[in-house]
Amino acid sequence: MAALATIQDPGTPVGKALAKLDESADADAAKALAAELIAAIKGPDKWPQKTKTLFEAIPYVVERKTDNGLLAALITIGGLADSMGPAAEPFLTSGLPLALNAACHKNGGVREAASSCATSLISLLYPALNFVLPMIFDAMQQEKNWQTRCLAMSLFTVCAEKGKQQLKFCLPQIIPELTPCMTDTKKEVKKAAKAAMSAILTVAGNSDIEPVLEDLVSCIMKPKLVPELMHKLGGVVFVQTIDSAGLAVMVPLLVRGLRESQTAVKRTTAVIIENMSKLVENPIEAAPFLPLLLPALQKAADSVSDPEARAVTDRALKQLTRLQNEIAKVGDVGKTDVALVDGIVREGFKLKKVDGAFQVSLTYLCSILGNMIDCSVRTKETWGSVIPPYVNSFLSNDEITAGVPDIVTKCIELIKSIPEEEEEADDKEILADVEFTLAYGTKILLHNTKLKLKRGNRYGLLGPNDCGKTTLMRSISEGQIEGFPPPTELRTVFVEADILGELSHLTCTDYVLADPRIQSDGITREQVREALMTNHFNEKMLDDGVSTLSGGWRMKLALSRAMLLKADILLMDEPTNHLDVMNVKWVKDYLLSLTHVTCIMVSHDSGLLDDVCSHIIQIENLKLHMHPGNLSAFVLKVPEAKSYFEISASKQKFLFPQPGPLDGVKSKGKALMKMEGVSYMYPINKHYTITGITVQVSLSSRVGCVGPNGAGKSTMIKCLTGEVEPTIGTRWAHPSLRMAYVAQHAFHHIEQHLAKTPNEYIRWRYQNGDDKEAMNKVTLKLTMKKKKMVNTAFEYLWKDENEKQHKEMRKVEKLTMMRRNVKGSKEFEYEVKWVNKNQDDNTFLSFSRLKKQGFEKWMMMVDQKIAARAGMYVRALTTGNVEKHLEDVGLDREYGTHFRMNALSGGQKVKVVIGAAMWNQPHVVILDEPTNYLDRDSLGALANAIIEYEGGVVIITHNDEFCRTICPERWVLEKMGDGIGRLDCQGDPEWMTNALNTKIEFTQAEEMVDAAGNVTKVKQEKKAMSRKEEKAYKKRLQAKIKNNEPLESDEEEYAINNNLKD
């Protein structure tokens, strides 16, 4: 009865009701007394008095011992919770343990009242869920009665309906407490826990994980289902921001996945961790989970034996370590000290002494405010609405109005955040200041990132291939960035060298005039021609088709058009691609002259970025990071970016397939391709483009082809590869040569197949055992004169079995794709099928005889098919083999097998083209400007792959560092006074002499893998016998034949070839 002493008058309605709490005769009386007490507390008094009454009365109410007294107390607290609002919350919290513990009461009426009371309380108290969670967790402990535990867990379901946001913030605390209950031995507890878990997971608010929430619950109850769910999650494309709630849901499952014994499950789990960690917007929210994930991931990385899987876990570790480093910048990221908040509130309201009811309300309020700080609530209006209800009973409106703003400001200042990059202080005009997310297909490129652009700045956009550089610039130019100023306010022009196919027939002048923006600006033909001539186009070039331009002149054409458009923002994708040294300087000077135009450029030319850029924008972990200064200044801050300067700093590795042996080629210096006295004139021109070209290529060749734009480098290479036929002179290639050619405009190889994946494209290209690209060359197509020759009958002589000679006029129907060596001759014989003759009448004719009749190109096709099939033998054309091959040239299997080529970046497309060309294990690789679109890491990997490659290499490039790294021999092509390109061959004489004399030591394939994964041993070429050995071998075979003994296959073949058998 101690509490009654504090009530002003026991004769008052409240005091009178309290005095009778333990005296109710039955349940009906208890219910009536509860109604009386509720009415008395809610009575006519104003809130200050009501608060005092609650403060004094509730402790007495919860101390009831008798059954009916307990029933009345539960009904009273539940009724007050239903009707009194936020001001009553601090005083009713003590009723929650009473209700939870009463759930196991022997009296059914009390149990029912306890359930109702607990539901009413949580419906009122959910804004302070963090405050009452310890009470709920205490009731869930295993030593508690099962009814109490079930009621406690059911409150989470109520919160999922009433207070989703508060429940979401508390998921990191709730899930670890609820999980053990799901495997409890008591079926009622297990059922209640499953229902509660299913309910709370729905508030996580992440649409990426929503489809697997039911599976998640099942996995907690049945851990053996974890591997299957991990594989299912491996196919999820994560795009939503990952917050503490999402991590709370996923981390327990991820830890279990890392502990699985199967390497595939560990690898998939690591991939998920890597992808999710990139989407963590606030690293501080990940802080509670890193102590769980990091050790588990480290242990998995140490236990995985597969190198590729270990590399995946290392990448995931790198991402988690990044988060850890970001968190370290903040320091203490634990929960906010409520005492600190209490001091802010007291100072804001100028409180000197607080006790009694005010102290209870103040403690409760500070708990709520501390939780809001931890949840990073920054909206001042929300803060302003939370505080007053809990202090209205103790302070005047003026005091509240005066104190709240200062309290809100200081509390928001306590919110922990990662320090943002410092912004430069200048008075330059801000052209754009946006925050956005950017995706391409199903791939997130940038996530909730900020971009601020100022007039006159020159930004270099850096990042690895596939990170979204070109997509970002294209999205800016097409107005697809949310919040970016529209074209009516800010003109952006995107400059790229690729000419659209539908415009390739236009002249240079008409190409510029075809741009709708040029037309809308009223720019005349004369102005266009004047602008082009200012940029060194001559009169003839103005009226030539854009398809005749070299890569360098195409870039100058695109820049000229951009200059006419007077852009506010110039977006440039590889502006120095295809340009020689002089034109690169011209681009640099032009960009430096733009003081009122903002430039954003993507380039792998470190010299350009160093000489021109005022800022570097780095794309890393789905964010844009702004760094003042040029590339050198950026490298000082980010040393790993050194790979943008030095090819040798590359961390990537490409692997080219090694070529196989060639008939008759014993040294690396023997010519495999050569041209003598070659000149070429394009059909539309009146003068030769190149003249007097004599070169040869062998397995030892490491040739860099250099020269100014328009000198004819690409034309010379097209003659060498057979893409075009020389106007004058001869071209020859070894009959069994396999050659890989990547053209200057590399995308032309794949432009008709953009709807295919890279894997599908390679399998299509080689599906019949030969290279469809090689079969399309001009040099393999018959002229009208040759067609007439091959369709003309010629005299054929042969002898019958009686050695009688016959002759007949015959026509060749086709070559059968069979070819053989003739002993004592350096030329092949080809099997022909005659018109109107049976297959038994097929005959082998010599190369010279068939050439005389016009069949040279037919024989070249046979040679190429046989060469291609020889290269195909070691690897079956399967999805798996092609996938591995593409990975060897730097294209991840995700892009190689699952992305269509129209969704790939420029760098990825170049890798596809290189990979496709290298599939059939060529003896010679010819690359025309391979460095375009490749970042420095990929460039270094390409250089190292070429150095390790055993075949011949010819490269056209303006990248001097790349050329000198791998090419001791140089072909310098320059135009003379008559405008015709002539060649000067240069090189290191000592290296060339050694290379030419190097003996070939090809490693012959020992086994091949077919489409079903079967491994077949490859028959090895036998060592040549000496004369003495061959004589003894022949004698032994003759004896076996005479005695009718069976011969081995090798012996049978030798006997036939040497006429030992009749």
Rounded to the nearest 10 degrees, how much is the dihedral formed by the CA atoms of 289, 292, 298, 301?
A: -90
Distance CA 113, CA 74 (A): 6
pLDDT at 933: 67
For residues 270 and 439, the answer to whether their CB atoms sit within 8 Å is no
Answer whether residue 550 shows pLDDT above 70: no
DSSP 8-state code for residue 489 = T
pLDDT of 903 above 90: no
Q: Which is more confidently placed, 234 or 744? A: 234
For residue 798, give the H/E element and its range: strand 794-799
Sequence-ordered list of residues with C-beta below 8 angstroms from that of 866, at least 6 positions apart, any chain: 735, 736, 817, 819
pLDDT at 193: 93
| Strands 430-440 and 443-454, bridge-based pairing | antiparallel
With 90 as the cut, is the pLDDT of residue 141 above it?
A: yes
Q: Average pLDDT of 281-291? A: 88
Tell me what pLDDT residue 339 has.
Answer: 92
More confident residue, 307 or 384: 384
Amino acid at 495: V
pLDDT for the residue numbered 1005: 47
- Span 690-710, mean pLDDT? 86
Q: Mean pLDDT throughout 569-581?
A: 78
Cβ atoms within 10 A of the Cβ of 365, count?
A: 23
Q: Are strands 969-975 and 981-987 parallel, antiparallel or unpaired?
A: antiparallel
Query: Residue 692, SS3?
Result: strand
Q: Are 860 and 779 in contact (CB under 8 A)?
A: yes
Residue 24 has what DSSP assignment? -
Q: How confident is the model at residue 1042 (pLDDT cuts 50, 70, 90)?
A: confident
Question: In the predicted model, what is the mean pLDDT of residues 77-87?
Answer: 88
pLDDT tens readout for residues 100-129: 999 999 999 999 999 999 999 999 988 888
Q: What is the pLDDT of residue 3?
A: 42
Q: How far is CA 105 from the centre of its chain?
A: 59
pLDDT at res. 774: 63
Q: Which is higher by pLDDT, 876 or 148?
A: 148
904 HSE (CA, 13 A, CB side): 30
Q: Where are the beta strands (DSSP E) in 540-641?
A: 569-573, 598-602, 615-620, 623-628
First to last CA, the chain: 128
Q: How confident is the model at residue 854 (pLDDT cuts 50, 70, 90)?
A: confident
Per-residue pLDDT band at 407 (split at 50, 70, 90): very high
Q: Which pLDDT band holds residue 135 (cuts at 50, 70, 90)?
A: very high
pLDDT given at position 871: 57
Residue 970 β-bridge partners = 704, 986
Return the pLDDT at 560.
84
**Res 788: pLDDT:** 78
| Nearest by Cα to 618 from 756, 469, 740, 788 | 469
Contacts 24+ apart (CB under 8 A), 83-86: 83/38, 83/42, 84/41, 84/42, 84/50, 84/54, 85/124, 85/389, 86/124, 86/127, 86/389, 86/390
Q: Work out the average pLDDT over 774-794.
A: 68
Tokens read off for 852:
């005389």
* Contact call for residues 629 and 602 (beta carbons, < 8 A): no
Band of residue 637 on the pLDDT scale cut at 50, 70, 90: confident
Ranking 250-264, 674-688, 924-938 by mean pLDDT, the lowest is 924-938
Q: What is the per-residue pLDDT for 1?
A: 36
Confidence band (pLDDT; 50, 70, 90) for 419?
confident
Name which residue leads in pLDDT, 8 or 84. Answer: 84
Name the nearest CA neighbour of 704 among 689, 719, 717.
Answer: 717
- Render 125-173 in DSSP notation, one character per residue: HGGGHHHHHHHHHHHTSTTS-HHHHHHHHHHHHHHHHH-HHHHHHHHHH
Predicted pLDDT at 997: 55
User: How many angstroms separate the CA atoms of 51 and 583, rounded?
Assistant: 83
Q: Please check the confidence at residue 63 and state whether its pLDDT lies above 50.
A: yes
Give the three-class secondary structure for 452: strand
Check residue 5 and give its pLDDT: 43
Q: What confidence tier does 422 reach under pLDDT thresholds 50, 70, 90? A: low
Percent of the chain with pLDDT over 70: 87
Residue 96: pLDDT above 70?
yes
Angle (CA) 636-640-646 rounded to 5° is 90
Q: DSSP states of 728-789 as a string?
A: EEEEEE-TT--EEEE-SSGGGGTTT-TTS-HHHHHHHHTTTSS-HHHHT-GGGSPPHHHHHH
Beta bridge partners of 829: 820, 846
Q: Is the pLDDT of residue 750 over 90?
A: no
* pLDDT confidence of residue 97: 93
- Average model confidence (pLDDT) across the chain: 82
Check residue 894 and give its pLDDT: 78
In the predicted structure, residue 216 carries a pLDDT above the cut 70: yes
Q: Is the pLDDT of residue 691 over 60?
A: yes
pLDDT above 50: residue 418: yes
Tell me if residue 224 falls in helix, strand or coil.
helix
pLDDT value at position 778?
Answer: 46
Q: Alpha-carbon dihedral of residues 283, 286, 288, 294, nearest 10 degrees?
A: -110
Residue 192's pLDDT band (cuts 50, 70, 90): very high
943/9: higher pLDDT: 943
d(CA 860, CA 870): 15
Report yes or no: 180 and 192 within 8 Å, Cβ to Cβ.
no
pLDDT at 526 over 60: yes
Q: What is the pLDDT of residue 999?
A: 54
